[in-house]
Structure 1
Amino acid sequence: MRLVLATRNPHKVREFGPLLEPHEVVALPDAVELPPETGETFAENARVKARAAADATGEPAFADDSGIEAAALGG
């Protein structure tokens, strides 16, 4: 099965590819525009990106979102 990763970052595609074998992981096509990340959590942002990628391509999609959180700095 072909899976669209909602990113154009080739490093992420190479990272996820072996983890999801035997499925083929492909990057988001250049023509697809992702919506802004407006979620309050990394999971919400990933869900928004994955849904947008699936809707735009008609293929199963997933996304990854991460960042650094520093509670001591108020965020």
Structure 2
Amino acid sequence: MTQVELATRASTSHAALGRLERGEPSVGIGILVQVLDVLGLAAGLGQVADPDMDEVGKSLQQLKSPKRVRAKKRDDLDF
């Protein structure tokens, strides 16, 4: 498939497809999804934002979690 055919099937321009191939951040995610769909690669997009698949995010969250939790001191107990 040529770039012109891919751009036509993805309902975008040849220039936008070129920017996408170069990895320019100005290309919208919608164009990326359309191109992936035309190429038959859109099946795994549901996992992109799945927090269970984000190992780096899980590691960073564990670093932020308190290591040990202490019970708060309560001075209002009168026995």
TM-score interval, smaller chain: under 0.3
Specify which structure has the higher proportion of helix. Answer: 2
TM-score of the two chains, using structure 2 as the length reference: 0.24
TM-score of the two chains, using structure 1 as the length reference: 0.25
Which has the greater radius of gyration? 2
